[in-house]
A and B are shown apart, each in its own frame.
Chain A
Amino acid sequence: MIGITLALGIALGYAAIHFKVEGNPLAAQIDALLPQTQCAQCGYPGCKPYAEAVASGAAEINLCTPGGDEGAHKLAELLGREFKPHGGPVVEKVKVVALIDEQTCIGCTLCIQACPVDAIVGAAKQMHTVIAPICTGCELCLPPCPVDCISLIAEPRTPQNWRWKYPVTGLKVVA
């Protein structure tokens, strides 16, 4: 009996040390469902902080604006909570990226500090520019700009991101 106890104790002790789960696995699962725009429209400084808040029960599941109702549905399914519609205005999901008007930019670096994904390059008194493939379109760079030289443009359509339409069934004329 003592032998079994010891053996199991050692096994459990070993498992507790070597198979320790780093971080909060639920928060990571929630984070995986969030759109990673890092736009902070939920009131948290990024997607991961929001995921942690949702995991701990501190935040509602319907605060993510880019995720919208679809995202709230996914979170409701994952967490077994009741679905709540996203309260805010329903925005059409068009991917946008920031564009700096390089003629107007004064090189103040304020947008660089605001960008949550480091998608803006530039230096003090040098022209800044947006690395479009990295930009998430979060709009956080717009308010700090003192000269309003940043605009959001829709991502250009290319054969790589062009999509086939849902087949439309023709109606049959019966009379």
Chain B
Amino acid sequence: MSLPHLFRFPGGIQPDAHKKESSEQPIRPVPLPARLAVPLVQSSQGSARTIVTVGDKVLKGQCIGEAEGNAGTAIHAPTSGRVTEIGRYPMAHPSGLDTLAIVIEPDGEERWIAREPLDMASASHEELILRVQASGIVGMGGAAFPSHIKANSKIDTLIINGAECEPWISCDDRLMRERSADIVTGARILRRLTGARRVLIGIEDNKPEAITAMKLVVQAAADDGGEISVITVPTRYPTGGQKQLIRVLTGFEIASNQRSSSFGVQCFNVGTAHAVCRALVHGEAMVSRVVTVTGNVEHPGNYEVLLGTAVADLIELCVAKPGTERTLMGGPLMGFTLPRLDAPITKSSNCIIAASNTLFPPAPPEQPCIRCGSCAQSCPTGLLPFELYWSSRAKNYDGAVHYNISECIECGCCAYVCPAHIPLVDYFRFAKSEIRARNQEKRAADQARARFEARSARLERDKAEKAARLTAKAAETRAALAANKDAATDANDAALIAAAVARTQAQSQAQPPASGQNGGATPPEPSI
């Protein structure tokens, strides 16, 4: 096979990898924690609707939350046990906000629900997609995008992302070394679903064992129509970013408002491919994932963690060394500091880092930007971070939008190289959330305007209709009166008038004129 031509994305950095700390131990199981709090929201696009009640006995892999809507994904009991509570628990999010979670108290038996693998030969495309959704599979690289949506598009090139470019993280590396067969089977299923012509598995060259393992499997299973190739890509952060890896492997550059599928490319993480295989071939829903626990801990490594396990339990298991100041979820560049350690492991949590001031020295004080331009050279999306910084710092959001802040993937390369130690990504995250809030307000205002105008129009219309109704009714009454009048004869009228005149005259004659001048009681009106 000829070496494929690789492309380059602009910028990027080469920080110390720090992978060896955790990548040398095989994936280990985690003892069952005392309780598992599984959040109902596990995907970026939708949530699940709980279908169990407090007190229910559940089996491992049993569906406890149905997919809500087209974009929703199901959630499953990570172990067998009893549902003890459905309540608000912290979520794995920088805000530390609460979200609804189903709490399961394990019974320690780890009893699986009856597993129903799909017959891959006879299953239809729709059945497979439905099973992907019902098994709760979302992108495991970090974005947690529902996989059934991505797998339901027709493409030419399927990319399996095994780059794992961020320092310290090694869960994909271990997964590829130990479960390469499942990953390749998953990739084949995804190829069938998407109708892709070729499958490219991109792995960074700092993971030679993973590359060997994957190549062995790909070569051993003599191919069944369609090319699968394992491609070694140069180690450079952020090659593992979806758009960056697509760029490196295919040369396509995808703007923020475009989808990779419109270029005939779709990218899945190796973890996702593995989960697809477990779900479809083995009938196991997504109930656990491999998580790297590393940093300032006694036993760094990769662990098979049940979803809903609290981060604190993992840290306890790996024994944090003294000096641990804070805990990061995700890598040191794109991750975030966990505000609380009772947050659960979710489908997108790939790494937990116990951070000490020795390993991750706190950033020196921010100094003024000296306009050196290093950030622009390091930006993998070709933005001008210094411009974005000035705009964001001045809260000039129009300026930030003008310099395409939405293209920023928050990879942290700019902040990494900044000689003035400016926390650029913090500014960008701030500006992005403000812009998002502003857009939401704008949408709400547009909606309110439309509703107000519709209501005003309706009130106007009602008023006009009422006026028309009254006019019509008045005309009707007049017509009815006229009809009555026609019935009475003119002579009759004349007689009545003559009688009235006669009565009036009789009354005025009966009263002396003086009493009338005194302002006495006026004669009663003659009634007809």
Contact = CB atoms under 8 A, between A and B. Distances in A.
A118 B455 contact: yes
A110 interface: no
Most A CB contacts (10 A, CB to CB) among B444, B451, B452 go to B452
Contacts of A129: none
B447 interface: yes
A165 B430 contact: yes
Interface string A131-162: 00010100000000000000000000111011
Given A36-B445, A36-B452, A169 B365 contact: yes
A136 B444 contact: yes
B366 interface: yes
20 contacts: A34-B445, A35-B445, A36-B444, A36-B445, A46-B452, A48-B449, A48-B452, A48-B453, A117-B452, A117-B455, A118-B454, A134-B447, A134-B448, A157-B97, A158-B97, A162-B97, A163-B434, A164-B94, A165-B430, A172-B365
B433 A47 contact: no
A117 B451 contact: yes
A118 to B, nearest CB: 5
B97 A166 contact: no
Contact of B95 (A31, A34, A116, A159): A159
Interface of B: 91, 93-95, 97, 99, 365-366, 395, 423, 426-427, 429-430, 432-434, 437, 440-441, 444-449, 451-456
A175 interface: no
Given A136-B444, A172-B365, 20 more contacts: A31-B449, A35-B441, A36-B452, A37-B448, A47-B449, A116-B452, A117-B455, A118-B454, A134-B448, A157-B97, A159-B95, A161-B440, A163-B430, A164-B433, A166-B395, A166-B430, A167-B366, A169-B365, A170-B365, A170-B366
Contact of B429 (A31, A38, A119, A164): A164
Given A159-B91, A159-B93, A159-B97, A164 B426 contact: yes
A171 B365 contact: yes
Please provide the 6 A-B residue pairs with the shortest distance between their CB atoms, ordered closest to farther: A36-B445, A167-B426, A36-B448, A117-B451, A163-B433, A164-B429
Contacts of A118: 451, 454-455
B436 to A, nearest CB: 8
B171 to A, nearest CB: 24
Nearest to A159: B93
